Amino acid sequence: MQDTHRQAARRLVSTLGIAVAASLLPALSPLAVQARAADSAAPRQHILLDDGWRFHAGDPDGGSAPYLYDVRPEVTASADGKVADARPEEAARVARADTPVLKPWILPSGNAFIRDPARRYQRPATEPAVDAPFAKLAFDDGSWRPVTLPHDWAIEGPFLTTGPYGGMGRLKTWGPAWYRRKLDIPAADRGRKIFLDVDGAMSYASVWVNGHLAGGWPYGYNSFRIDLTPWLQPGGANQLAIRLDNPPESARWYPGAGLYRNVWLTKTAPVHVGQWGVTVTTPEVSAESARVAWQVAVDNEGGTPASATVTTELYILDDRGRIAGKPVATAVSAPATVAAGTSGTVSGATTVSKPRLWGPPPTQTPHRYALVATVRQDGRVVDRTETPFGIRTVRFDPDRGLLVNGEHIPLRGVNNHHDLGALGAAFNVRAAERQLEIMRAMGANAVRLSHNPPDPQLLDLADRMGFLVMDEVFDSWERKKTPLDFHLIFPDWHEQDLRAMIRRDRNHPSIIIWSIGNEVGEQYTDKAGAAVAHELHRIAHEEDPTRPTTTAMNYAKSDMPLPAEVDVIGLNYQGEGIRQDPEFEGTDRIRTPPQYPLFHAKFPDKMILSTESASAFSSRGVYLFPVHPSNSSIVRDGRGGDSHSQQVSGYELYAVDFGASADKVFASLDRNPYVAGEFVWTGFDYLGEPTPYYGARSSYSGIVDLAGFPKDRYYLYQSRWRPDLPMVHVLPHWTWPERVGQVTPVHVFTSGDEAELFVNGKSQGRQKKGPTAYRLRWDAVKYEPGEITVVAYKNGKEWARDTVKTASAPAALQAQADRTALASDGRDLAFVTVRIVDKDGLPAPRAHDRVRFTVEGPADLVATDNGDATSFESFQARDRAAFNGLVLGIVRPRAGAGGTITVRADGAGLKGVAVTLLSRPATR
């Protein structure tokens, strides 16, 4: 379809048939990947390199200068701790002098993503002038630490309890680190192409093979490929070494550190499908039929021209992503001649009758297909790839919002950073799946991946589970937010990074929008900033003309040039207005009246959505008094906050200065029904950016805390996003011995339309929701021990009820695992929630007793947490204080060792508890 940036159409329709990046196997079953990849007779091998690694922090001589990617600006003072919406600054100029750097040898690694051949980089003829002993085959790494990937070395801490770096999670993520691994390359591989495929490495990766610098990639969030072939010795010993050099002052949140995503070895014939070389689209879709079109990039890295044909087969995938049955369509291309050292494209199309459409639950089903492309050279099979995809239509209507397969789907989305709480940035499929399951139960149907390309397995999960995704590439462009962030490499790498992300991800049915930036400093630079946006928009549409672009704007207004350069208007907090309280008058902070009507009037042909909404704060289970009478308030001491304890009240009325409560956001969306929906900041608490208390380790903005325990706000969103679910939630807890006779407001969230509150059986009155009321409040209730009960009604009939009782002293532990049947693959996880209760089994909501975990059987305790943003206890501690009655243990079965696992939790003066799990061999 045509680029809507250049047309006056009132709707942008995306009919992309979507797929996972071309890979041999679904990433959700790594053991199956290894099993199939190990077949040396296969035309392609895609081997997971997860074990056999050795890790060392630091460079050989204790200094990093010879290994620098490039000269960096000198940082004389920390920039950590400034407000989240501070204006980005102009880049610092750096004198290059004569410092030797590795940049000339690493830039060519991105050549495949530079469209203009004249702008591609030539590798220097000589080797870099650096002696790298850690990269050499003869180096003895026996004293180095054995690790298994994915690996985030920084999550082990210790926490930095004082000084700066609250923004980066109070965990040291910076400094050089090396990973080494032997590579077994049989003599039979001579003549094959051998690539290293890295799903993500934080950051400034340089890849060394047998002492030679093979290439690298600076951006820590993108996936990349390095051709190892020239430096390998098939039939001999081979050494792979990867050096990372994450800078300090390089992020506004916890970036993680290390080889924190999967690393693969891919072996192919010289003639093969190129990296992310399969693109599937569905330009015509109806209930009766769908036209499926594809392009297959065939690379010829041999020395002579090659004649190749591509056979394409389409299959239905089952719920687990496995091919089911016979092909629903087959096509064979005409022979194509591909010159040596070049790439050719083979195109084709077919029609699928009665297509099974991909769409978001609960009203639709995320059906998927697979395209299997088989490449033959002179009649011999030389490559085969399997590419899952989906068939669906997406329409972006400026007046109605988002339509998927013709159905209006309000965006009920959340923003999520990439860390997995106590597990850090090391990606784990089950941990990410658990997060999505918790969001799904709340009613969320969409995720914005803030503010960087995700692990590809997260997109596989979104495809399978039916989440809509906004895929985002950059948090900064040329202007800096922190002294050493991505702006340093943006001029050299923005094209490669944007094209790489889109080529990898463009076949996922879950992705509906490309975001080219978040709150970038170029919002402030008028036409110059708009020109950067225009270039990124152009690149995005060259790679994928079927999806729209957006950029998340917290400053740019409708009369500025930047919003005109993207297809969809994405507003951060501007919809409901920023800092409109009288106390901000005369300040130099961003102050913006509600902007939805102004943008809608200026851009009547563009859909509008809230790329970030709310940024509300709370600490789970903490309630502070007095309770603010309005429906939204900033946080100050005595106004929802307590700077001494560094906690924020859980009455869910409080937000960052530029944000708003959920209630205020809901009202704004209801007043402007043309807005497609929202992405709440954030679904989960995340490491770093701990506003409003920078002495803490993690954020306060999550609907769910860092351990995965829902805050009260969770049920407010559930009451709105799942209107057909009979539910009611009452807060606060009812254990307040020091508040007898004092006013203790009671608030109720319900999907019903009215409710009645009872205190010890006595009615406090029945209330009905008004037009823009999203909670029911009994603000004059005085505390007395006993119980509070709320009965919710809908259309005059009882809908749901909830009771909270006064607890006595903590007496025992209760435990529950999220799953009891696990795979013994070394990656599966069980999340064990331990609750402190009184003698009658009632939750003890103010208990902070210490709990100790022990694990018996073929499994290990890998992390613990309690959701307290102020806790500096190690995530690896077996003994941890509960936070308001809850604590979490994360257990991982050992690879290949099935059997019964017993997880015990004990505490001084508390009756212990045990949970039984069972691990079994992983099955595909």
Q: Which residues are catalytic?
A: 519, 612
Buried b (16+ CB within 10 A) or exposed e, 668-706: bbeebebbbbbbbbbbbbbbbbbbbbbebbbbbbbbbbb
* CA dist list (Å): 298 to 37, 110, 309, 577, 900: 21, 18, 10, 51, 49
User: How many angstroms separate the Cα of 476 from the Cα of each of 90, 400, 481, 529?
Assistant: 11, 31, 7, 12
Integer Cα distance of 807 and 788 in angstroms: 12
Within 10 Å of residue 8's Cβ, how many Cβ atoms?
7
Measure the CA–CA gap between 257 and 241, rounded to whole angstroms: 16
Please give the structure tokens belonging to residue 125.
């003829």
Q: Residue 735 corresponds to which amino acid?
A: T
Q: Are 634 and 653 in contact (CB under 8 A)?
A: no
CB 603 within 8 A of CB 647: no
d(CA 722, CA 709): 19
- Residues linked to residue 892 through DSSP beta bridges, in sequence order: 860
Helix orientation angle between 713-721 and 662-671, rounded to the nearest 10 degrees: 20
CA distance 295 to 293: 7
Q: Give the separation between CA 419 and CA 706, rounded to whole angstroms.
A: 10
Residues with Cβ within 8 Å of residue 644, at least 6 apart in sequence: none
Which ranges in 581-708 belong to alpha helices (H)? 596-602, 662-671
Of 223, 626, 196, which Cα lies nearest the Cα of 453?
223
Q: How many beta carbons lie within 10 A of that of residue 325, not counting itself?
A: 8
Q: Which residues pair with 565 in a beta bridge?
A: none
Angle 630-636-637 (CA atoms, 0-180°, nearest 5)? 115
DSSP 731-789: ES-S--GGGTTSB--EEEEESSSEEEEEETTEEEEEEE--TT--SEEETTPBP-SSEEE
CB-CB contact of 366 with 460 (8 Å)? no
- Tell how strand 263-268 and strand 237-246 pair up: unpaired
CB 873 within 8 A of CB 880: yes
Burial class (CB in 10 A: 0-12, 13-18, 19+), 437: middle
Cβ proximity of 70 and 488 under 8 Å: yes
Nearest partner of 64 among 245, 219, 230, judged by Cα: 245
Burial class (CB in 10 A: 0-12, 13-18, 19+), 658: buried
CB 81 within 8 A of CB 167: yes
DSSP letter string over 357-369? -B--TTTS-B-EE
Query: What tokens does 692 get?
Result: 């409003």
- Residue 310 makes CB contacts below 8 A (sequence gap 6+) with 296, 298, 332, 333, 336, 346, 348, 373, 374, 375, 376
Residue labelled with tokens 């290390």? 258
User: Could you tell me whether strands 568-572 and 608-614 are parallel, antiparallel, or unpaired per DSSP bridges?
Assistant: parallel
Question: 445: closest CA among 772, 680, 729, 613?
Answer: 680
